[in-house]
Chain A
Amino acid sequence: MSSPSFKILAAILAVAIGASAIAQEKRAPDGAAAPDANAVSEQQLLQQESRIEGRIDIPDSRARVLIQPTGRRWDSFHEMTLHRVGAIVILGMIVLLGLAFLVLGRLRISAGRSGKKIVRFSAFERFSHWLTATSFVLLGLTGLNITFGKILLLPLMGASAFSDLAQIAKYIHNFVSFAFILGLILIVALWIKDNIPRQVDIDWIKQGGGFVKGKHAPAGRFNAGEKAVFWGALAAGVAVSASGLLLLFPFYGTNIATMQVAQVVHAVVAVLFVALILAHIYIGTLGMEGAFEAMGTGEVDTNWAKEHHDLWYVEKQAQDRP
């Protein structure tokens, strides 16, 4: 763009900028130069940046932010969007699972119980699962209390008792988080190799996992549904852990804007995570006969294993009887 047209354009721009600068310069009522009249105004600054920051004598970088109108947007996210999305996602999942129970009922072991058992999860695997599970339930309930407690519990309990409960819930949430992170690390380390997607998973999905036709699709140690829960929990777990740590150590390398984003990510992912785990709890207890004992005693009925995890069953038999 070194053509004459560019030079003309540049000249027009220069004149325009110069003219606007002259137009903007304010003068005193008597026409004298008034440097004070041309000071920065709040409106100009807010048009340029989302927040106004300056210099301050207090040794606290947070205090440097003079005005951040985004606070009101975070407020409307927290009080409007989160309340609605949270209620829809969580109640929606409960309704969905209720419908699934009404339509499909409890999925029985088709061949009935054989009475013979096979080890599915070792004691350490079950410990890792229940460490994560217990901490998740505690984190979920205490987390929901921060958002919905004032609507659901405060009117029932009264301000003082609810405040005491919320205070305890806050500390439970903050400290149990570490148990959850540990559990998540253990779970991932133990099960990631069995959760890598394979060809058999595509077939499993194509056959509707056996839910639709009532015929069981072949699966290894974990079927595609379980793998989806695994990867969903891993992604959501990493997101809530990372954002949670930022909230746990406020303003270390973060500012007001990143703290707000961390809270939004934490809240939205947590709500989705709760919905995912509700489905996981349903299928592991009420939804399927013979599933809970895998995590309860660690042993499952051989007929259950043959129906739901046939490939794993064959593999396991070969391992156990070399």
Chain B
Amino acid sequence: MARMKFLCDADRCIDCNACVTACKNENEIPWGINRRRVVTINDGKPGERSVSMACMHCTDAPCAAVCPVSCIFSTDDGVVLHSKDLCIGCGYCFYACPFGAPQYPKVGNFGSRGKMDKCTYCAGGGGTEVSGSIEEYKKYGANRLAQGKLPLCAEMCSTKSLLAGDGEIIAEIYKERVLKRGYGSGAWGWMTAYKEGVAP
């Protein structure tokens, strides 16, 4: 089984936000929810870098561990999914997530956040809905992985900064790039998410 991961090569990201738009369009994300976002570090200073970030689908996902109703789990592909039927909107996954991935449809006062929403790696949902069904699409978004396709954010990336796919393969691609360029600002979030970096 492939272990699916994301890798953002920040030395290639141009902060175009096409990944954010692709994600919103493909999954019909409601207003106020950003499954993917681009953060710019050292904006306007020498050495500025932009990083596209969403759920990293962690190894030993902390969100899944802290969930008080155990509605978050990892699939055989290493994709972290959750059930919106079971979610109680407590917000704990947001405190545990190293990447700010969990999103909530409402502001959240008095615990009224609504059901958590996050990147599903375009792999549908973790509920009881039939894989690829319209019910699943409405609740969780696209299920591209079942069709043999990768997440659209990575597919759309104009500079091929954002890579998705089997972790070993995308790590290899990144290593080759770093060797050829002679530099690399690192596979952002990998140590935290997967407990291993990408050593060039």
- Contact surface of A with B, Cβ cutoff 8 Å: 26-29, 34-43, 45, 52-58, 60, 62-72, 74-75, 78-79, 145-147, 149-150, 154, 159-160, 162-163, 166-167, 170-171, 173-175, 248-251, 256, 259-260, 263
Contacts and interface: CB of A to CB of B under 8 A. Distances in A.
Interface stretch (B143-151, B156-164, B179-187): B179-187
B29 interface: no
B43 to A, nearest CB: 4
Nearest to B87: A163
Contacts of B187: 42
A173 to B, nearest CB: 8
Given A74-B95, A174-B110, A163 B17 contact: no
Contact of B90 (A53, A62, A170): A170
A84 to B, nearest CB: 15
Contacts of B191: 42-43, 69
- Looking at chain A's contact residues, the main secondary structure is helix
Given A62-B100, A72-B62, A163-B85, A67 B192 contact: yes
B91 interface: yes
A54 B40 contact: yes
A72 B98 contact: yes
Given A34-B183, A57-B17, A150 B41 contact: no
B49 A159 contact: no
Interface string B170-190: 000000000001110111110
Nearest to A162: B69
A149 B90 CA distance: 14
A173 B85 CA distance: 21
B111 A163 contact: no
Interface stretch (B31-39, B117-125, B133-141): B31-39
20 contacts: A35-B46, A38-B47, A39-B11, A43-B186, A43-B191, A56-B37, A56-B40, A62-B94, A64-B39, A67-B189, A68-B98, A68-B100, A74-B96, A163-B71, A163-B85, A166-B68, A174-B110, A175-B110, A260-B95, A263-B92
Given A37-B183, A78-B66, 6 more contacts: A42-B188, A42-B191, A43-B186, A54-B43, A62-B100, A66-B53
Given A146-B90, A174-B111, A39 B43 contact: no
Give the dominant DSSP class at B's interface: loop
A135 B116 CA distance: 28
B169 interface: no
A259 B95 contact: yes
A167 B187 CA distance: 38
A259 B95 CA distance: 7
A98 B11 CA distance: 64
B81 interface: no
A163 B86 contact: yes
Given A52-B41, A63-B34, A149-B68, A72 B96 contact: yes
Contacts of A71: 62, 95-98
Contacts of A259: 95
B86 A40 contact: no
B154 interface: no
B18 interface: no
Nearest to B193: A67
B48 interface: yes
A64 to B, nearest CB: 7
Given A34-B182, A42-B185, A75-B66, A69 B92 contact: no
Contacts of A174: 110-111
A45 B48 CA distance: 12
B48 A39 contact: yes
B70 interface: yes
A129 to B, nearest CB: 26
Contacts of A45: 41
A245 to B, nearest CB: 11
